[in-house]
Amino acid sequence: MVTQFEQTMALRTGKLPPELLRQLIRHSGAKDRRVLLGPKVGEDAAVVRLGDQTLVLKTDPVTYASDMIGWYAVNVNANDIATRGAEPAWFQAVVLLPEGSDEALVEDIFKQISAAAKALGVAVTGGHTEVTPGIDRPIVVGDMHGVLNGSRPVLTSGARAGDAIVLTKGAGIEGTALIAREKRRELLKAFDRRLVDRASKYLFDPGLSVVPEAKLALSYGVTAMHDPTEGGVSMGVSELAEASGRSVRLDLDAVIVRHETELICKKYGIDPLGLLGSGALLATFAPKNADAYVRSLARKGIDAVIVGNMIPGRGRSVAVSKGASRPLSSSERDEVLKVLG
């Protein structure tokens, strides 16, 4: 007899398929009226009411990187707190180390976590560290909590039909830095050292944090915010559509793809819009507010563009380039895995 387990398909690396995730998140433990938003596909963080304050909670791992992993972990978790309209406040991490690791490695990770947290005004409140069999690189699982600014959280599901979609900084920022750092020797055979150095420094310039632009968005009537991570900008706008019950029209020609990202993606034959996207913020606004927000960011030296708009109905998302449109495609399997996988 074939068991139910034997009938299931093997999972690929990357995020779980949305259909499977929707089934799994029904297993959500005990009911608690203080949980205002629990697990939901496309939403970045949970929201919990505690007395007269509202907390925002997020857990996210860093599994692809081996260099600057502590810096990644703090920033990617802080981003998801900020996209809820909250202030990142407390961070904990589970640090899993491969066998053979030395004290210098773990101390370096702790220093990275501390420096990134200090830069954001976040306290490190604890965690867990161990040497773990069966892994070949460090893994850091971050857990960030924050306090809501104002009375209502910003939800990914808040995007409305007609809203303009703003993208800050550009596509594939995290992925560009990751590839440049992990494949440095290989890239130096194809590119000038200065270009590889610039790509490596994407961690800091333009940077992984979207906390400043997420805070500013609150002053411009933002309706939804989302931090594109695995699957990049394409997956991020698809998740906006999924969470809001609407569709998107994405102008591919408007998306910012930085020079270093473009060249590195071309070398490996990967799509920058499907590349790890931390460092960019997707945010939706009424059109006039979107224009004002983009101008305000420009005054602060932060690149931003309107890359499309929300449209009514589910399952109608399209990507437009040079006047031609096609159904918008995205994948939970990130493009970086074609390089590092």
Per-residue pLDDT of the chain (341 residues; tens, 9 = 90+): 444 434 567 888 777 888 888 899 899 999 999 999 998 887 889 999 999 999 999 999 988 877 899 999 999 999 999 999 999 999 999 999 999 999 999 999 999 999 999 999 999 999 999 999 999 999 999 999 999 988 899 999 999 999 999 999 999 999 999 999 999 999 999 999 999 999 999 999 999 999 999 999 999 999 999 999 999 999 999 999 999 999 999 999 999 999 999 999 999 999 999 999 999 999 999 999 999 999 999 999 999 999 999 999 999 999 999 989 999 999 888 999 999 87
Does one domain contain both 143 and 164? no
Burial class (CB in 10 A: 0-12, 13-18, 19+), 205: exposed
- Residue where a domain terminates, one of 100, 116, 148: 148
Q: What is the CATH number of the domain that holds 279?
A: 3.90.650.10
What one-character DSSP code corresponds to residue 208?
Answer: S
Summarised one tens digit per residue, pLDDT across range 200-259 is 999 999 999 999 999 999 999 999 999 999 999 999 999 999 999 999 999 999 999 999
Summarised one tens digit per residue, pLDDT across range 285-315 is 999 999 999 999 999 999 999 999 999 999 9
Q: pTM of the entire structure?
A: 0.91
State the DSSP string of 10-48. PPPSSSPPHHHHHHHTT---S--TTEEE---TT--SEEE
Does one domain contain both 124 and 49? yes
Query: Angle at Cα 338 formed by Cα 182 and Cα 165, nearest 5°?
Result: 95
**Residue 226 belongs to some domain of the structure:** yes
Domain around 330: 156-340
Does one domain contain both 71 and 177? no
Domain count, the chain: 2
Half-sphere exposure at residue 156, Cβ-oriented, CA atoms within 13 angstroms: 28
**Residue 23 belongs to some domain of the structure:** no
**Residue 276 belongs to some domain of the structure:** yes
- Residue where a domain terminates, one of 89, 120, 148: 148
Residue 9: helix, strand or coil by DSSP? coil
- Residue where a domain terminates, one of 130, 148, 166: 148
Does one domain contain both 67 and 180? no
Q: Compute CA 320 distance to the chain's CA centroid, rounded to the nearest angstrom.
A: 23
